[in-house]
Amino acid sequence: MKKTTLATFLLISSYLFAQQTDSDNPTSNFIVSPEILLGITADANSYFPDHGLQTQAIISFGWEHDNNPQEWAQRLKGPRTGISVGYTDFGNTENLGSAISVLPFIEFNAFRSKSLTIQVGTGASYFTEKYDPITNPNNEAVTTDFTWSFKLFSHYKVFSTKKINWRAGIGYSHHSNGHTRLPNQGFNSFLVGVSADIKNNAEPTFYSEEKKPVFSTSRYSYLALRSGYGLQVLAKPFNDKKGVYVVSGEYGKVFNNTYKVGIGAYYRFYRHYYDYITNNESLVQDGREFDSFKENATWSASNIGVFINGEVLLNHFGINLQIGFNLHKPAYNIDWRINQGWDVVPREIPENSVIVLGEFGTKFKLKKLISSRLGLKYYLIGTRKAPKNNFFIGASINSNLGQADFTELSFGYVHSFSFKKEKPLSTK
């Protein structure tokens, strides 16, 4: 998890640097926003430690893109992008500790209103306290020093002065380690707060209602190839991190150099599944439920699926969401049996024992069928130039119908079949 988290922080840092220094983006106004939040943290497990209200102090550094002439900024109606740094007290410093979070974010106007916005952010958090079977056994929310963090918030501008926009906010936050160590129940919180947008009083240098860019509609096809390396654990008795190896191909179209939609297929190989089978663990032993998996351990530990991918392109950066459908993932049956039974199913599972294992009901079928992937990409060449050949790196969290599966770092190549230069800016 530490390697993956470090890579995530590098992506975040490059995100901040790029927003500050991109010579193609000289007219994005800079905003500093301190914010105070209060909220309720849901109990992550039975016997969860008592705790009070959650409190957060955040400072965000953002760029408002109303005056940015790039196509993505105009197509998205002048969003705000930036990075936030926050401190969270979960209401019990002894058992739950506190967290320091760094989240890049994007904020859109909602319902064409500049007073109401929707903000989405994802990044990483460092925790001062975590689960320990001896000293802190009741906190099953966090088991690692670093976790993924996700934030979905809505802000409403209450009133403005010459230098400050005062805003009220409400939303949801989540912390999870991406299935890199168990237990991993995660923190889920619902929050309200107030913030102050401190303006820099910069005069617009480009945009006005009478003079703003006009772009022709565009569409071109692309082919993308990606390889990835993920980390996960199998279960509490198999709590060491092992690799998930990923390759995928995708074909789709880019609309207006901003919206990317594609379909594709992936292959994944789970080292944990393979080792469970080749080590002749309990459920694959002769005469047991999954003994047939030993006939071809590699195939049994493999996962093949198809997916639909959507992505918003922000020049050098992309935010993508993928929904997949697994066609082949047999060893997930072992995963489910172990993790959805008793709280701790032992490594050795005797035959005809009273140990309760997970049942193959509707929930199992849906989680085995549907996968999802949420991630952040960095493109070597800005996508506003619609380059014919491009490369990217990315960090993402993969899940089974919302339940964390593995954390992934990836590297990929994109080929555009028809090259289109952006038209020179014109006026209405």
Is there a contact between 220 and 253 (Cβ–Cβ < 8 Å)?
Answer: yes
Answer whether residue 27 shows pLDDT above 60: no
Per residue in 36-65, pLDDT tens?
Answer: 999 999 999 989 999 999 999 999 999 888
Angle between helical axes of 271-278 and 332-339 (0-180°, round to 10): 80
Which pTM does this prediction carry? 0.87
| Residue 203 pLDDT grade (very low, low, confident, very high; cuts 50, 70, 90) | low
Is there a contact between 36 and 151 (Cβ–Cβ < 8 Å)?
Answer: no
| Residue 70 pLDDT grade (very low, low, confident, very high; cuts 50, 70, 90) | confident
Please give the Cα distance from 64 to 117 (Å, whole number).
12
Please give the Cα distance from 412 to 394 (Å, whole number).
8
Question: What's the confidence (pLDDT) of residue 333?
Answer: 97
Contacts of 391 (CB under 8 A, 6+ apart): 379, 380, 381, 411, 412, 413, 414
Bigger pLDDT: 102 or 67? 102
For the chain, domain boundaries = 2-198, 219-416
Q: Which CATH architecture has domain 2-198?
A: Beta Barrel (2.40)
Return the closest-CA partner of residue 133 out of 17, 26, 239: 239
For residue 346, cis peptide bond before it (omega within 30 degrees of 0): no
Per residue in 86-144, pLDDT tens?
Answer: 999 999 999 999 999 999 999 998 887 778 999 999 999 999 999 999 999 999 999 99
Question: What's the confidence (pLDDT) of residue 420?
Answer: 53
